[in-house]
Amino acid sequence: MIFYCLITAVINTVASIVLGSLAVMRRRTGGPNLEFGLFVASGALWSGSYALWLLSSEPESAVFWTKVLSAAAIFVPATYFYFVVNLLGLRRRRMIRAGYGLALVFSVLSIASDMIVREVAPIGGFPFWPRAGVLYPLYLVFFFSYPLVSWIELYRAMRRAAHARRNQLKYILFATTLGFIGGAFNFPYWYELPIPPVGNGLIVLYLAGVTYAIVGLRLLEVNYVITKIAAYALIALPLSVIYPVVFGGLLVLTSEPSTVVLAWLLASVPLSYMGVVMIPVLRRRVDGILERTVLRPYLSSRERLQAFLGEISSIKEESQVYRRAAEEVSGALEAFSVFYVRGEFESDLPIRAARLVPRGLLLPETMSHESPIVRLLASRHRGVILEELRVTDPQAWEAVREEKERLQFEVVVPVQADGVLFGFLGMGARARNQFYSDVHLSLLDSVCLQIGLHVRARQIERRANQAEKLISLGTLAAGLAHELRNPLVSIKTFAMLLEENAGDPEFHREFSETVMRDIGRIESIVGNVSAFAADQKVAFSWIRLEEVVQDAYKIARSAFTDGRVEFDFEPAEVPLVHGNHNQLTQVVLNIFNNAVQAIAGREGARVSVRLGVRHSDVFQNAVELRISDNGPGIPPEMVKRIFEPFTTTRDTGDRERKTGLGLGMALAKRTIDGHNGVIRVESELGRGTTFTILLPCGETRT
């Protein structure tokens, strides 16, 4: 037991110095720095004196160090009360002064008289345990009364506080109770009561808990931590008394010191081994039981948010993203949620989705970009528990307090990407007085970041589409100007000559034919442009590409015959594809017409068609349609632009031989894209051209 008490005393001393320094360094401005420093300093002095007392070999030195530790210990409740009062912002100057005054009196009496420490005597294996003096009962009354008042004030403040603040105060209250219970185990031996000081180890947890509450505020969910600490204590405390029990039993059974020491050394080996082996096993078992029972709601909320993170990228509609996100975060954390996100060309932030909004709470339809909360998030770029600002940043707290209370937000998280703030997620208080942990805040940050990336991607996509439309419009305008100029010039020329040839019937006939032909040409141009610009939705069904090829050939057969072009088609058994029969027939027909026009009249002219199934870099399974000709090929610079509007290898100014506008391949590309397929072209000058179409397929074979 002496060894146990000595080790815990050393640990308490070091912990008091380290943890107190940590708190002061982390809170250099604002917060209860000085008060907490005094508190841990008194604890460090008590623990250090306690260790030196245990190391004493003579009664005189033992008496001296027990008087010093008693003088130091009496300042612990006074400094603790001072710390709590300042933490809560209370005005208790008289009690503080009285506390320090009484502590000073008891400290002087402890050092200078025997009214606190009367003497030392052996008990429970300790050779020099102190005996209580005549004023020691008053000493104990003071020692416990100030912590009791502190607990009452903490409890009252905790009941009034909002969630984040309540979390902090609850942690301090729990840690304080734990520490004083541990320290109280030292007092029974003063009155020769057979209760050993087994609780000294709890004082470390006491100091760590209070320091955590000041420094960390929210490193973990308080209920989560309390539950696990309590469970581990049930394991650690019984194991911690094994050595003292064994040692005490040996001391009772034998009076030979050498026998006791030898037995102690022999017993320590298996006991140490058992501690090393069993504690990790028991801890894992306890963790498993806690995660399946008490901690299940806490862990399930984390799991639900983590699962939703993987789904965000698969949601296409932006409005659906906000709706689903509001449902998921509200469902996981049991709190109301609302998304305010601005549009691409908006400065203010309209409401996009809300969930579980309390009755009577009127949320504004739009948040100004000058809102204190918006400005706070724009400067911090991370989620904020607003109540924490009261301690961590009083100036920011004053700026957002009125808006926070009006909107009842507990947490606000920015929706952002690439350093641009698009909006934010606001969340209210959780059900059943639950708290937002650091893990929850981190997950909410991740959710909102994913939403911000989604918004950013949609903006880039819209801008790319707009740029593409402008490019297409420019190409379309240039092509139309060129295509319409030729028929209009001919009509204008004949109109200018009409007056000079008013009496010439032959001129009238030729004029009429030319006008009708060129008006038909203009109608054809307008029709093709309309077809290219149209974005009509058509019905899809499971179709056979073999039938598509055959229907396209039936329409183009006369062109093949007139151009003396051989048609080479080998039907194959391939799966069905999901598409529109008429649209795909038009695509194949356009390729046939282009091929025939390129090779008509050439010796051995041939168009070959092949069907097959392949695994591509785009699809796992696809039907491949290859259409090849043995014509002159397409120049490389034209291959790159073959699917652009008004791209053609024929002379656009030859009105007599003109058979197309260069829109056929652009229409084909649009159609195949609409079928979620791919169309490619390969061409070699003097060898011919091959068009390859890949379409995703089903499992059914034709």
Mean pLDDT in the chain?
79
CATH 3.30.70.270 fits 535-701, yes or no: no
Task: Quickly state the pLDDT bin for 629 (edges 50, 70, 90).
Answer: very high
Topology annotation, domain 2-219: Rhopdopsin 7-helix transmembrane proteins (1.20.1070)
Would you state the pLDDT for residue 31? 47
Q: Which helix (H) or strand (E) holds 105?
A: helix 93-112
Q: Token pair of 152, please? A: 């009452």
What is the spatial distance between Cα 100 and Cα 272, in angstroms, rounded to a whole number?
44
Residues of the chain with CATH 3.30.565.10: 535-701
Task: Residue 675: name the closest of 594, 590, 582, 612 by CA.
Answer: 582
SS (H, E, C) 628-667: EECCCCCCHHHHCCCCCCCCCCCCCCCCCCCCCCCCHHHH
C-alpha to C-alpha distances, 106 to 41, 97, 472, nearest whole angstrom: 18, 14, 92
Task: Quickly state the pLDDT bin for 643 (edges 50, 70, 90).
Answer: confident
Residues of the chain with CATH 1.20.1070.10: 2-219
C-alpha to C-alpha distances, 484 to 433, 497, 534, nearest whole angstrom: 74, 20, 20
Would you state the pLDDT for residue 652? 35
Topology annotation, domain 300-459: Beta-Lactamase (3.30.450)
CB atoms within 10 A of CB 676: 13
C-alpha to C-alpha distances, 433 to 113, 154, 347, 441, nearest whole angstrom: 51, 17, 36, 17
What is the spatial distance between Cα 53 and Cα 117, in angstroms, rounded to a whole number?
13
Task: Residue 40: name the closest of 12, 7, 70 by CA.
Answer: 12
In the Cβ-directed half-sphere of 266, how many Cα atoms lie within 13 Å?
Answer: 7
What is the spatial distance between Cα 113 and Cα 1, in angstroms, rounded to a whole number?
29
Task: Quickly state the pLDDT bin for 196 (edges 50, 70, 90).
Answer: confident
Would you state the pLDDT for residue 661? 53
pLDDT of residue 160 exceeding 90, the answer is no
The DSSP output letter for 218 is S
pLDDT digits (tens, 9 = 90+) for 48-97: 888 888 888 888 888 999 999 999 889 989 988 988 887 777 778 899 99
pLDDT digits (tens, 9 = 90+) for 451-501: 999 888 888 877 776 776 666 666 666 666 666 776 787 778 778 887 788
Write the burial class of residue 38 (CB in 10 Å: 0-12 exposed, 13-18 middle, 19+ buried). buried
Hunting for tokens 């009360």 — which residue is that? 81
Which spans in 310-437 are helix H? 318-333, 372-380, 389-392, 394-407
Is residue 639 within 8 Å of residue 685, measured between CB atoms?
A: no
Would you state the pLDDT for residue 310? 84
217 φ/ψ sector (left φ>0, alpha ψ -120 to 50, else beta): left
SS (H, E, C) 375-399: HHHHHHCCCEEHHHHHHHCHHHHHH
Residues of the chain with CATH 3.30.450.40: 300-459
